[in-house]
Amino acid sequence: MKIGLAQYDPAIGAFKHNVVHMIRLAGKAREEGCELIIFPELAVCGYPPLDLLERREFIQENLRAADRLMSEVKGIAVLYGCVSLNTRGAGKPIHNTAILFEDGKVLAEVHKRLLPSYDIFDEARYFEPGTGSTPVNFKGLSIGVTICEDIWNDSVVFSERHYSVNPVAELAEKGADVFITINSSPFDIEKAAFRYHVLSRLAAKYRRPFFYINAVGGQDCLIFDGGSMAVDVTGEIIAQAKDFAEDLVTVDTDTRQGEKHTISVSKEEAVVKALKLGLKDYTDRCGFNKAILGLSGGIDSSLTAAVAAQAIGPANVLGVIMPSPYTSETSIEDAEALARNLGIRTIVTPISGIFDSYLQTLETVFEGKGRDVTEENIQARIRGNLLMAISNKFGHLVLSTGNKSELAVGYCTLYGDLSGGFALISDLPKTMVYKVAGYLNSEKEIIPRRVLTKPPSAELRPGQKDRDYLPPYDILDAILEKYLEQNTPPDRIIAEGFNPDTVYRIIQMVDRSEYKRHQVPMGPRVTTRAFGYGRRYPVCHGYRRQAENIG
């Protein structure tokens, strides 16, 4: 049987748009000779709808959309994800469901059993889990239908198992010939390799091919990277959809032959595609077509501008150069050179006059106090206010330009450089910022070379350099990755050879800047653990580490 893997980009709650799109794709697959088309998890309503799932009217519209899909698709069977009602009288009111229908008749309904509730996932908040797994028989094939997390609990891959049941083992035992798994699985930089690892290990263990369909698109801080595939029992990839784009690939379940499209070959390539997709979908869905950002001549704003220009077109990006008395000539030259390379417009609005008026207004209030970080923050906030003002006047989206390392240690100003609607590189550690910038420059110089080689500086006081405040970025990022992404306890980080003072000082900076991260714009997730929705820490707490004694 020839099947189509329909990797598509649903918008949350855009029921009409989504269903029309699905109907069109089903028609296309039928024309290509498919007997079955498969869409991702929650294809009708998009993923994750969050608390929209608590609204009765949202669920009702989702059900009406599902009805329309079933009544309008003819001549091909459809397996897709949608929300269905829990009719058992207790538990959460809805299920996360896979539905198989053909010619207006539902052939099977499968409820997701393993509901991820960690990191960015909150499915136990909304859904009642399914209670058992039985293969679905369709045209002589016994299909093990699973939904995303359902395949993520097998001991062949996971030594620490989060759940006490394993739908894959149950389905194999009950005679499934093949596994089809529908997903809305978000991108991180390690995810594609790990997905293949899971699928190939499961295929080998159960001696069954796995057909894996993923969603694609940007949804707030999440990027769904697609990369749908079919994996044979040998581990061979027999069908492969693109990453970071809609795609429809076909594969034959008998001959085990399918279409193979190319995917990213490096992590840097994947990151650039992820950021572009995230920004494009964010602007489209929030109704923006232009973006604005401050250009400092530094690496962060340069990378942000370069990605934005590729994502929405250079004509739609406006760079604002906002020099102060502490801004070097070099910085302005670099910002202007970048803008020329990208072909984006710039305007220059010096902040000295405004800065002076703040200092004058505050003169008597601050009498007798020396200069400190206050005056640095005032400058950053003037720049934030100018960007927001231009955004308000012309309807641009403000892109904030901070990276993950800064955000982690609080080396950034609330309402200043943290202002904006979308923080494009906020989940890229500084060392990754350099790598991705290098990748963008690999064919020709887009970001002026000096931007990559000069020492980073906030230029908020004379002679200021990042290295005067922070450990070298390679050390900082290594410690942050262990602490933030792997939850490694401080003593174990130290045991790996890092300086104890440095480790505790960094952890203290991370803990103490939690309040800032509660008020920052969202940005696309790139690492295995991003700030924001997927990492929830109290702002005020009394958890004191050894840091307090050392730092």
Contact residues for 192 (Cβ-Cβ < 8 A; gap 6+): 225, 227, 243, 263, 264, 270
Specify the residue, 164 or 262, whose C-beta has the smaller distance to a second copy. 164
Is 112 one of the catalytic residues?
yes
Binding residue (CB under 8 A) for a second copy from 90, 255, 443, 444? 90
The question of whether 482 is a catalytic residue gets the answer no
Restricted to residues 260-279, the positions that interact with a second copy (CB under 8 A) are none
- Contact of 217 with 48, CB cutoff 8 Å: no
d(CA 483, CA 496): 12
- Note whether 374 binds a second copy by CB under 8 A: yes
130 forms part of the interface with a second copy (CB under 8 A) = no
Which of 41, 102, 122, 188 binds a second copy (CB under 8 A)? It is: 122
Beta bridge partners of 99: 80, 109
Tell the smallest beta-carbon distance from residue 160 to a second copy (Å).
8
Instruction: Name which of residues 379 to 438 contact a second copy (CB under 8 A).
Output: 381-382, 384-386, 388-390, 392-393, 414-415, 419, 421
55 makes contact with a second copy (CB under 8 A): yes
Q: How far is the CB of 508 from a second copy (least distance, A)?
A: 13
Q: What are phi and psi of 80, to 5 degrees?
A: -155, 165
Q: Based on CB atoms, which residue is closest to a second copy, 5 or 522? A: 522
- Establish whether the linkage from the previous residue to 49 is cis, with ω within 30° of 0: no
- In terms of CB distance, is 353 or 497 closer to a second copy? 353
In the complex with a second copy, which residue's Cβ is closer, 46 or 448? Answer: 46
Instruction: Rule CB under 8 A: say whether 323 interacts with a second copy.
Output: no
- What is the residue whose two structure tokens read 């990369």? 227
Q: What span, in angstroms and rounded, lies between the C-alpha atoms of 331 and 168?
A: 57
Of residues 29 and 354, the one with the C-beta less far from a second copy: 354
Provide, rounded to whole angstroms, the least separation between the CB of residue 175 and a second copy.
25
With CB under 8 A as the contact rule, the residue among 57, 254, 329, 468 that binds a second copy is 57
Find the binder of a second copy among 489, 495, 496, 550 (CB under 8 A): 489
| Closest to 124 in 3D by CA, of 81, 95, 147 | 95
**Cβ-based burial of 444 (10 A; exposed 0-12, middle 13-18, buried ≥19):** exposed
Kindly name the residue from 45, 82, 112, 221 that is annotated as catalytic: 112
3-state secondary structure of 35: coil
Residue located via tokens 């229908």:
101
Among 8, 39, 58, 152, binds a second copy (CB under 8 A): 58
**Contact of 84 with 107, CB cutoff 8 Å:** no
Count of residues that bind a second copy according to CB under 8 A: 95
- Nearest approach, Cβ of 125 to a second copy (angstroms)? 5
Contact string (CB under 8 A) for a second copy, positions 20-49, x = contact: --------------------------x-xx
Q: Which of 34, 41, 82, 276 is catalytic?
A: 41
Residue nearer to a second copy on the CB measure, 18 or 185: 18
60: enclosing H helix or E strand: helix 56-72
Tokens linked to 474: 């390679």
125 binds a second copy per the rule CB under 8 A: yes
Q: Which residues of 99-109 are buried (b: 16+ CB within 10 A; e: fewer)?
A: bbbbeeeeebb
Question: Is 41 among the residues known to form the active site?
Answer: yes
60 or 330, CB closer to a second copy? 60
Tokens of 533: 């929705």
Interaction residues for a second copy, span 159-218 (CB under 8 A)? 160-164
**Active-site option among 34, 82, 148, 412:** 148
Closest separation between CB of residue 440 and a second copy, Å?
A: 26
Between 219 and 250, whose beta carbon lies closer to a second copy?
A: 219
The Cα 541–Cα 538 span in angstroms is 6
Phi, psi of 143, deg, nearest 5: -105, 125
CB atoms within 10 A of CB 88: 10
Q: Is 372 in the site for a second copy (CB under 8 A)?
A: yes
Is 357 a binder of a second copy (CB under 8 A)? yes
What is the smallest separation between the CB atom of 197 and a second copy, expressed in angstroms? 21
Q: Looking only at residues 508 through 537 of this chain, which bind a second copy when binding is defined by CB under 8 A?
A: 515, 518-522, 533, 535-537
> What does the DSSP assignment read for 442-472?
SSS--S-HHHHHSPP---SSTT--GGGTS--
Distance of closest approach, residue 73 Cβ to a second copy, in angstroms: 21
**Burial of 211 per CB tally in 10 Å (0-12, 13-18, 19+):** buried
| Crossing angle of the two packed helices 352-361 and 373-394, in degrees rounded to 10 | 120
196, 366, 439, 498: which one binds a second copy (CB under 8 A) = 366
Q: How far is CA 299 from CA 346, 435, 449, in A?
A: 17, 11, 10
- Contact between 86 and a second copy by CB under 8 A: the answer reads no
* Amino acid in the structure at residue 378: I
Strand partners, 96: 83
| Catalytic residue list | 41, 112, 148
